[in-house]
Amino acid sequence: MALSIEQIRDNTARARQLMQRSRDEHFSIGAFNMDNQDVLVAISRAAQKLNSPVLVEVTHDEVTSIGIQNVRDLVDNCKIEYGIEMYVNLDHGRSVEVSKHAIDAGFEFVHIDVSQANHDASDAEIIRQTREVVEYAKYTGALVEGEPHYFGGSSNVHAEDIDYEEIKMTFTKPEAADAFIKATGIDIFAAAIGNLHGKYPVPKILDIELLKQIRNTISQTTTISLHGGSDTPAHYFTEAAQVGVGKVNINSDLRYTYRTNLEKVLADNPEQFAVVKIMEPVRQAVQAVVEEKIAALGSANKAEMLAHLKGNSI
């Protein structure tokens, strides 16, 4: 069921308050990708168990598979069923059009990533399209995230080592970040400090000193996000939260856990074709990963009581 504009604005106002609290209290929110309903249930259970606010996010593939309005409805149903503080994020939205659709559906967070669809997009084009989404989002109050250039890696399991000399060439420059934020008006800036999409044979190394420089250079009202949070040593999450990172994206760790555990339960139950009957161990395994990330991010016991969920309000 579509939300009213009043409900959407109430949700986005709460989302903005959460980002402010994360900066003031030095914790980060996990933004967990939802491949399907089993993963959504696992995220919801972890959030309920640890009393943590969470973001559920979808990329192009998940939007294509599930549908923007269906994502909104599924998340709202879980918010009520589990009594949790949960928001929806469009992750790496490839166009202004799909970003506007997500805003219309009541997504509280929208990430417009022009370079995702066109790696060769000019700075001017990235700024123009990002700014267009920022202006459109003012109607609902949705928070808009942006990034000035293509972000490396992919949400998969990689066999190659990380070439840090190459990666360092794409690191965020604090002054450039500040200029991009001022030119676009975004609420959330996606920083590159060694974080990469995907899982690799070696742990990721984050440049926390660079992160501090970025935080000290840009507006204090701008939230910093880190993409590629999978396969990252937990101490980096704690350090990043202390510096002022408000949002960390987790995708590949969930996908890997889901896939490997699904393969196991299928192999252990070769005669069971009602797969729904054997999925609980898979959900539990994904939930354990979400709980681990929540603990590292420091968001446990940071959820607000959702009295507004009583009755028909969402």
Helix/strand/coil for 260 = helix
CA dihedral 64, 67, 72, 75 (to 10 degrees): -70
Nearest to 168 by CA among 195, 189, 200: 195
- In terms of average pLDDT, the best of 118-122, 146-150, 155-159, 295-299 is 295-299
Q: Please tell me the pTM assigned to this model.
A: 0.92
Q: Is the pLDDT of residue 158 over 90?
A: no
Q: Is the pLDDT of residue 156 over 80?
A: no
Examine residue 268 and state whether it is found in any structural domain, yes or no.
yes
Examine residue 314 and state whether it is found in any structural domain, yes or no.
no
Element (H, E) at 56: strand 54-58
Examine residue 292 and state whether it is found in any structural domain, yes or no.
yes
Examine residue 44 and state whether it is found in any structural domain, yes or no.
yes
Top pLDDT among 232 and 300 is at: 300
Examine residue 288 and state whether it is found in any structural domain, yes or no.
yes
Examine residue 77 and state whether it is found in any structural domain, yes or no.
yes
Distance (Å, rounded) from C-alpha 88 to C-alpha 151?
21
Q: Is the pLDDT of residue 19 over 90?
A: yes
Top pLDDT among 69 and 197 is at: 69
Helix/strand/coil for 197 = strand
Side-chain half-sphere CA neighbours of 63 within 13 A: 20
Cβ neighbours of 234 (radius 10 Å): 12
Which pLDDT value is given to residue 306?
A: 55
Helix/strand/coil for 208 = helix
Which pLDDT value is given to residue 305?
A: 62
Average of per-residue pLDDT across 269-298:
97
Which pLDDT value is given to residue 310?
A: 41
CA dihedral 3, 4, 10, 13 (to 10 degrees): 80
- Give the range of the structural domain holding residue 107, as residue numbers without chain letter: 5-309
Specify the number of domains making up the chain.
1
Work out the pLDDT band at 159, boundaries 50, 70, 90.
low
Examine residue 141 and state whether it is found in any structural domain, yes or no.
yes
Residue pLDDT, tens place only, 73-125: 999 999 999 999 999 999 999 999 999 999 999 999 999 999 878 888 999 99
Work out the pLDDT band at 157, boundaries 50, 70, 90.
confident
Nearest to 182 by CA among 227, 258, 127, 249: 127
Top pLDDT among 249 and 200 is at: 249
Q: State the CATH number of the domain containing residue 153.
A: 3.20.20.70
Q: Is the pLDDT of residue 311 over 70?
A: no
Cβ neighbours of 18 (radius 10 Å): 24
CA distances from 45 to 52, 70, 285, 289, 304 (A): 10, 20, 12, 12, 16
Work out the pLDDT band at 313, boundaries 50, 70, 90.
very low
Q: Is the pLDDT of residue 152 over 80?
A: no
Which pLDDT value is given to residue 119?
A: 81
Work out the pLDDT band at 65, boundaries 50, 70, 90.
very high
Distance (Å, rounded) from C-alpha 303 to C-alpha 5?
24
